[in-house]
Amino acid sequence: STLGASAAEKGGRYFGAAIAAGRLGDSTYVNILNREFNSVTAENEMKWSSTEPQRGSFNYTSANRIVNHALGQGMKIRGHTLLWHGQQPGWAQGLSGSDLRNAAINHVTQVATYFRGKIHSWDVVNEAFADGGSGGRRDSNLQRTGNDWIEAAFRAARAADPGAKLCYNDYNTDGINAKSTGIYNMVRDFKSRGVPIDCVGFQSHLGGSISGDYQANLQRFADLGVDVQITELDVAQGSNQANIYAAVTRACLAVSRCNGITVWGIRDSDSWRTGENPLLFDSSGNKKAAYTSTLNAL
Ligand code: XIL
């Protein structure tokens, strides 16, 4: 079997990969992608700096290479990401206050409208919470426009693409801790006030261990009435890599509202974590032990 086919047999889940438009001419890469995965995320091509490099001037050329490939293969598409403190175009980095707020909401509306009907799940907001023990928001230009910027983004995304699941996505949320609890409290508040939110993404950029309450953390979010997704999984190479991939996979399958898993790249040589060899295929495209343990867990 394959990762995607096995996940699909488990209640219609998906198994996806982050991909780069610039690698779609690499036949080894594309062969693995088409064989193993039934969902994709654009690794960079849907970020603000890519889609709106000048204010009000949108460019979807690279994103569309990924979208067209995915649609041609019948793959789901995760949209990543509408608003984030990272990879903003220079013009947005220079804005503040209501000018930035208006530009940000316009960006959400324009991009979500452009891709309407094609996106399975949008990461509407990425990485808005602080690391460490505060459980509060991260300081950013977006946060300084007012604490309601996240809900404003979700409302704009819902209006633009009512068929997409709308997710909040973050890292260091892979267990019950102050950061994940801060997000949990935001989601609970959104649900109680009718702010549209459908899912929470757990990036899961992992090192040599997995939190003992990884599954319990997914479950507590699911119990709020949102789906959960593993959105950017990669695990540092080491003696435990295969076991950690399997444990994440089993945790997702054990939570009925866990829709799917996305790994953040295909081969180790495609990874943003240079030198960590954190993916399921080696640099030649061969299946690693982590691939086999993941497939066996599905
Ligand atoms: C990373 C990409 O993989 C890199 O190519 C890029 O240089 C920086 O961004 N969290 C996220 C992703 O939400 O968008 C990041 O992707 C990895 C961390």
Relative to the CA of 127, which ligand 1 atom is closest? 13
Kindly list the distances between the CA atom of residue 280 and the CA atoms of 85, 95, 122, in Å, as whole numbers in the listed order: 29, 40, 24
Q: Which residues of the chain have pLDDT under 50?
A: none
Residues 6-33 pLDDT 10s? 999 999 999 999 999 999 999 999 999 9
Q: What is the Å distance from ligand 1's center to 192 Cα? A: 32
Answer for the pair 14, 3: CB distance below 8 angstroms, yes or no: no
Distance of CA 99 to the CA centre of its chain: 27
The residue contributing the CA closest to ligand 1 atom 7 is 272
| Length of the chain (residues) | 298
ipTM of the complex: 0.99
Name the token pair of 159. Answer: 């209006």
Q: What is the Å distance from ligand 1's center to 42 Cα? A: 10
Beta-bridge partners for 76: 39
For position 125, what pLDDT does the model report? Answer: 99
CB neighbourhood size of 283 (10 A):
13
pTM summary value: 0.98
Give the active site residue among 36, 43, 45, 232.
232
Ligand 1: which residues within 6 Å by Cβ? 43-44, 126, 203, 232, 272
Q: Where are the alpha helices (DSSP H) in 89-177?
A: 90-93, 97-114, 149-160
Radius of gyration of the chain (CA): 18
- Buried b / exposed e over 26-64, threshold 16 CB at 10 Å, is beebbebbeebbbbbbbbbbbbbbbbbeeeeeeebebbb
For position 30, what pLDDT does the model report? Answer: 98
Active site residue 45: no
Residues 32-86 pLDDT 10s? 999 999 999 999 999 999 999 999 999 999 999 999 999 999 999 999 999 999 9
For position 150, what pLDDT does the model report? Answer: 99
Relative to the CA of 126, which ligand 1 atom is closest? 13
Q: What is the Å distance from ligand 1's center to 45 Cα? A: 11
Q: Identify the residue whose tokens are 């067209």.
A: 68
Answer for the pair 263, 233: CB distance below 8 angstroms, yes or no: yes
